[in-house]
Structure 1
Amino acid sequence: MKFTRLFILFIALSTLISCSKNENIPTDIEVQTFVWKGLNAYYLWQGEIPDLSDRRFSADQQLYSYLQGFSNPENLFESLLFERGVTDKFSWIVDDYIALENSFEGTTETSGMEFGLRTFENDPTKVYGYVRYVVPGTDAENKGITRGMIFTQVNGTALTLANYRSLLFSSSTSYTIQLADFNSGNPTENGTEIALDKSQFTENSVHTSAIFDEGTNKIGYLMYNAFTPQFDDELNAVFANFKSELVTDLVIDLRYNGGGSVRTATYLASMITGQFNGDVFSKQRWNSKVEEASDPSNFINNFTDQINNGIVNQPINSLNLENIYFITTGSSASASELVINGLVPHINVKQVGTKTLGKYVGSITLYDSPNFNKTDVNPNHNWAMQPIVLEIVNKDGNNDKDGIEPTVEFPEDYGNLGVLGDRNEPLLDRTITLITTGARGVFTPQNTYFGEEISNSKLHTPTSNNMYVELK
């Protein structure tokens, strides 16, 4: 999404209160002032919030008096959101935009153990963790953590609904997990402890890829864990390999992919296809102020044959496929759903796993600067916002707000997760069966002990389940 300086200037000037650096903003509310102005200009539901109306304040001092009623920027931000937790579930504000930017690039403080958290089958107040995957090159890999491991204690304390946040997501850079045996969803400790250390690490979102020969089908497989522009060239290189190996079918594993860049999502869709270059992939809906101030073409994302993300500039390796298969779970969200939904009007899309999250809104990063971008940022603080500013639909104007139902329902079995990228991993095996036989089948649970999924490690990073466009 590209914005001209004229468009940004129009939005800035369309607010009642100007964004001039020279205005005399009281120092105790300069962050609050930034919050109000940014939401007034860009928030998707600006027209639904009376306190964000352009007519709410007739003079600067009225606005400042209002803002001084909020003790901190976060309280103000939350008060201005539309139906928080119901309609707007995904806007957020941070006091350290550097950490936010690092997270967009895949850099977080982590041990490298990515995990889900579920309740016990026989006691919903008790919680256990299961390892989804391990990031290569991290402390978790060095310590022998592997996919499928179960843990029930942290630092000697049993995990519960009341304490899992403080035990697993505190500022501490080290912790010890106690492993357990699955025991039909009611894990029992086995006496093994592993100490883990967190450090700043950049995860390559291209986790693993493989090619399988299945009779007349040559099936490419890619596990892709985030739409991270920094790794667009690695993503393109995987497709170059698929292309050179003449794959006939493709499985993209998005089961743990919570989203990321809309631009990268468009690149991925263009790699899968290629025959629709220049055609509409998706469309964005912004608030009326933004839409009235810009050329409608600014809100269209088109298939492309070129990566140009400010990091690399290279031709896209396209497969020109007519069929595509995705693996999804409830952790597949935003940009993951965008790729699936955006391809539906163009090619045959099939999906194995469970229903996706249902998140079709996106955000931009707003900084405290005259144009809300990172030029001439206020040096007095590091606050930034990531408010929801757009809803995204496919070429036909559709999305699935409640999540996309799979073609073949096939949940993960937490007692037998398998090895990611291995031919016999249960969800991949089921997808290959769909490709080679066309059989959808009926899911018959081998076990009834699924409990409830309550959280996962990625949800506690600054960019969890995020879909964003770049503000320029």
Structure 2
Amino acid sequence: MKKWIFVLLALGMVACSNDDGVDLPDNPNPDPDADVVVQNFMWQAMNLWYFWQGDVPNLADDAFTTDEEYTAFLASESDPADFFENKLRFSGDRFSFYSDDYTDLTNNLAGISRDNGMAFGLVQFSGSANIFGYVRYILPNSDAATKDVSRGELFTGVDGVTLTTDNYEDLLFGENATYTLNMADITGNDIVPNGKEVTLTKEENFQEDPIFLTEVFENIGGQTVGYLMYNRFLNEFDRELNDAFGFFASQGVTALVLDLRYNNGGSVNSSRLLASMIYGTNTEEVYVEQQWNDFIQEAFTEEDPDALKDFFASAVSSGVPVNTLNLDRVYVLTTRSTASASELVINGLNPYISVIKIGTTTRGKNEFSLTMVDDPNRPGAPFIYTPEREGSINSENSWAIQPLVGRNKNSVGFSDYDEGFAPDIELEEDLENLGVLGDPNEPLLARALQEISGSSAKRFFEVGMPAEPFTYSGMFTSLKDNMYLDKDIRLPERLLKNFQ
């Protein structure tokens, strides 16, 4: 992963004493002979950082009166995955997850995965366990880009086996590096196999470029319109994102269509940069503000309340000035796959400019996470992963957790969008007419251009077969719909006495 942007939370480092108002109980210690190394790491990290720590009785500071009681609790689930899910996770938490390989997880957060380059959605047939897939887009320089397959095509089977709700994970997301899709057509109201086959091979360590398309359309109601399809918030590509906005500025773009329909999230800082490229670079204006669990929130606000605020940016991490369009409105294309950092851009911009959402309701994910590994001695931030400390991670424990540790609210305090953002202009994607991405006749883009033009001659958009996936390929990577906080966090010394 690229080195993270270090924005030090300005918290005074105060020596632990009986007069500082904080009296932390000693952390319990498991029996060193018990096989609970992973479970112990998970509990310690969640007890300190988890957003819902105060709502999970097992994570209470006084949950265990003896080390023996604590050891028995850790050993109550032999599988760390079951332990995380059954003993630590809050019932209302939809998004925290784990990985048995932190290298795989951190690579995925950088957009690196085992991938054939075909992004797709999966739809269940009404009244049946059978499902079918539809191609959303093909990544450049991937295996799929060399094959006869394109956006809008359908498939009903893999290797001659009909896809169902019981087998699709093994067939499409299993250990098999290569599989053959059995393609299909829409005939009337039916999805019918057409005999075409497409064989795809997953490439190890494939890295997706999230800046999928940039286009400029001239004379749209007298305006020059920029179009950006951005499919993940990856801080490794912040410079390239800034270059795209430099291109828009050089072309005199006065309106922007931001296509986030398939963007399921990523870096909080990249979302801040994108918002700055759209709206402006006033570093005294708040983009979003973090909320943590009660214990950590109190510690932060006691020292410096502004430490929890992320302001609009004037430069990317390399120090290069942000290329901004200084717009007073933006048109955002959305679907149910629009999640986390994508929704953060919408929420963060809402107090400042008009955000016109076109498509369908977004996912509704407003919490951020941190990657945690078995590194309790990391200065200032126990357990939080950073590549510089790879050699300090417990060599006997490769597990990582990605717990939700906070929630972002915008500059007017709004963060309540668990149900997602409803569109201002509703238009579903149509399996009978998905269109070509970036083409002005593609329905969602065409609807946005129509709104920008203000033309009295309105095109009628009729949806014949709505695309209503129950899941999609992006949900089977470690990134999923995760939003992660990429800033250096330093807790006050007085909170860390258990980790010294």
The normalised TM-score by structure 1 is 0.92
Find 1:106's aligned residue among 101, 105, 111. Answer: 111
SS at match of 1:264: helix
Is the contact between residue 279 and residue 325 of structure 2 (CA under 8 Å) also seen in structure 1? yes
Deviation at 1:82, TM superposition (A): 4.8
Is the contact between residue 16 and residue 55 of structure 1 (CA under 8 Å) also seen in structure 2? no
SS at match of 1:129: strand
Deviations 1:107-151 (A, max 9, x none): 110110000001235x44221100000010111011122111111
SS at match of 1:332: coil
Find 1:43's aligned residue among 50, 75, 78. Answer: 50
SS at match of 1:270: helix
Counterpart of 1:395? 411
For residues 4 and 279 of structure 1, do their structure 2 counterparts lie closer, same or farther at Cα, with a shift above 3 Å needed?
closer
Is the contact between residue 409 and residue 442 of structure 1 (CA under 8 Å) also seen in structure 2? no
Find 2:472's aligned residue among 452, 456, 459. Answer: 456
Find 1:302's aligned residue among 288, 300, 311. Answer: 311
For residues 453 and 13 of structure 1, do their structure 2 counterparts lie closer, same or farther at Cα, with a shift above 3 Å needed?
farther
> 5 Å matches for 1:22-171?
25-26=32-33, 28-84=35-91, 87-121=92-126, 123-171=127-175
Matched, 1:284 2:290: yes
Find 1:188's aligned residue among 187, 192, 206. Answer: 192
Deviation at 1:419, TM superposition (A): 0.9
The 2-side partners of 1:273 and 1:221 are apart by 15
Deviation at 1:7, TM superposition (A): 7.1
Instruction: State the AA in 2 paired with 1:251.
Output: V
Which stretch of structure 1 is more off in the superposition, 458-467 or 52-61?
52-61
Find 2:203's aligned residue among 171, 184, 199. Answer: 199
Find 2:331's aligned residue among 325, 332, 338. Answer: 325
SS at match of 2:151: coil
Give the superposed CA RMSD: 2.4
Deviation at 1:65, TM superposition (A): 2.2
For residues 416 and 6 of structure 1, do their structure 2 counterparts lie closer, same or farther at Cα, with a shift above 3 Å needed?
same
Counterpart of 2:27? 17
For residues 167 and 185 of structure 1, do their structure 2 counterparts lie closer, same or farther at Cα, with a shift above 3 Å needed?
farther
Is the contact between residue 134 and residue 155 of structure 2 (CA under 8 Å) also seen in structure 1? yes
Is the contact between residue 270 and residue 277 of structure 1 (CA under 8 Å) also seen in structure 2? no
The 1-side partners of 2:395 and 2:23 are apart by 22
Q: Percent identity?
A: 39
The 2-side partners of 1:7 and 1:194 are apart by 59
Instruction: State the AA in 2 paired with 1:125.
Output: A
The 1-side partners of 2:383 and 2:432 are apart by 48
For residues 102 and 9 of structure 1, do their structure 2 counterparts lie closer, same or farther at Cα, with a shift above 3 Å needed?
farther
Structure 1 residue runs without a partner (length 5+): none
Matched, 1:410 2:427: yes
Is the contact between residue 117 and residue 144 of structure 2 (CA under 8 Å) also seen in structure 1? yes
Deviations 1:176-207 (A, max 9, x none): 00111122452111111111100120000000
Deviation at 1:63, TM superposition (A): 1.4
Which stretch of structure 1 is more off in the superposition, 230-239 or 297-306?
297-306
SS at match of 2:242: helix
Deviation at 1:83, TM superposition (A): 4.5
Deviation at 1:14, TM superposition (A): 4.1
Counterpart of 2:256? 250
Matched, 1:364 2:370: yes
Instruction: State the AA in 2 paired with 1:47.
Output: G
For residues 16 and 68 of structure 1, do their structure 2 counterparts lie closer, same or farther at Cα, with a shift above 3 Å needed?
same
Counterpart of 2:493? none
SS at match of 2:246: helix
Deviation at 1:81, TM superposition (A): 4.2
The 1-side partners of 2:180 and 2:15 are apart by 51
> 5 Å matches for 1:342-361?
342-361=348-367
Instruction: State the AA in 2 paired with 1:455.
Output: T
Structure 2 residue runs without a partner (length 5+): 1-6, 17-21, 377-381, 489-500
How many matched pairs? 461
Matched, 1:210 2:219: no
The 2-side partners of 1:346 and 1:197 are apart by 45
Deviation at 1:62, TM superposition (A): 2.6
Find 1:234's aligned residue among 225, 230, 240. Answer: 240
Counterpart of 1:386? 402
